[in-house]
Amino acid sequence: MKKSGSAIEKSIYRLFEITPVPMVLSFPNGKLEYVNPALKTMLGYEGESIYAKNVIITHLDDVTVNQEIRQGLKKDPFTPIQIEKRYTHRLGHTIYVQLNIVAQADDNGDIKRYISQLIDLTTIKKSDAAEVLLNHLVNQSNDAIYVIAPKFGQILNCNDLAYQRLGYTKNELLNLTVDRLHLDFQREGKWQEYYHKIKENGSFVFEASHTRKDGTTFPVEANVSYIKYNKTQYLLAIVRDISRRKQKELAALALANLDPLTKLPNRNIVDEQLANLISKAQQNNTLIAFIYIDIDDFKNINDSYGHIVGDEVLKTTANRLKSCIRESDIITRLGGDEFLILINGIESKSLIKPMVEKFLAEFASPFKIQTHLINVTISIGVSVYSNENTDVHTLIQLADEAMYQAKKQLGTSIYFI
What is the model's pLDDT at position 59? Answer: 93
In our burial notation (b when 16+ CB lie closer than 10 A, e otherwise), range 230-246 reads eeeebbbbbbbbbeeee
Provide the 8-state DSSP code for 59: -
What is the model's pLDDT at position 14? Answer: 82
What is the model's pLDDT at position 296? Answer: 92
In which band, very low, low, confident or very high, does the pLDDT at 2 lie, cut at 50, 70 and 90?
Answer: very low
CATH number for the region 7-125 comes to: 3.30.450.20
* Separation between Cα atoms, residue 233 and residue 143, nearest integer Å: 22
What is the model's pLDDT at position 107? Answer: 79
In which band, very low, low, confident or very high, does the pLDDT at 110 lie, cut at 50, 70 and 90?
Answer: confident
Higher pLDDT pick, 368 / 13: 368
Write down the domain spans for the chain: 7-125, 141-245, 257-416
- Local structure of 267: helix, strand or coil: helix
* Element spanning 304, H or E: helix 298-305
Stated pTM of the model: 0.45
Least confident among 104-113, 268-277, 351-360: 268-277
What is the model's pLDDT at position 1? Answer: 46
CB 162 within 8 A of CB 139: no
pLDDT at 5 over 60: no
In which band, very low, low, confident or very high, does the pLDDT at 253 lie, cut at 50, 70 and 90?
Answer: low
pLDDT at 49 over 50: yes
pLDDT at 76 over 60: yes
- The arithmetic mean of pLDDT across residues 203-226, rounded, is 93
- Alpha carbon 69 to its chain centroid, in Å, reads 55
Return the CATH superfamily for domain 257-416. Answer: Reverse transcriptase/Diguanylate cyclase domain (3.30.70.270)
What is the model's pLDDT at position 412? Answer: 85
What is the model's pLDDT at position 270? Answer: 77
For the sheet with 338-346, list strands across it. Answer: 330-335, 338-346, 287-295, 378-385, 413-416
7-125 matches 141-245 in fold: yes
What is the model's pLDDT at position 251? Answer: 75
* Separation between Cα atoms, residue 250 and residue 382, nearest integer Å: 34
Q: Tens digit of pLDDT for each residue in 361-395?
A: 889 899 999 889 999 999 999 999 887 666 788 88
Q: Tens digit of pLDDT for each residue in 292-333?
A: 999 999 999 999 999 999 999 999 999 999 999 988 888 998
User: May I ask the CATH architecture of the domain 141-245?
Assistant: 2-Layer Sandwich (3.30)
* Separation between Cα atoms, residue 341 and residue 338, nearest integer Å: 10
* Separation between Cα atoms, residue 397 and residue 258, nearest integer Å: 23
What is the model's pLDDT at position 254? Answer: 67
- Mean pLDDT, the chain, as a whole number? 87
In which band, very low, low, confident or very high, does the pLDDT at 3 lie, cut at 50, 70 and 90?
Answer: very low
In which band, very low, low, confident or very high, does the pLDDT at 189 lie, cut at 50, 70 and 90?
Answer: confident
- The arithmetic mean of pLDDT across residues 160-183, rounded, is 93
- Alpha carbon 28 to its chain centroid, in Å, reads 63
What is the model's pLDDT at position 45? Answer: 95
pLDDT at 267 over 70: yes
What is the model's pLDDT at position 334? Answer: 86
- Local structure of 288: helix, strand or coil: strand
Q: Tens digit of pLDDT for each residue in 326-335?
A: 888 889 988 8
Closest CA to 181 of 167, 192, 171, 196: 167
- The arithmetic mean of pLDDT across residues 24-37, rounded, is 91
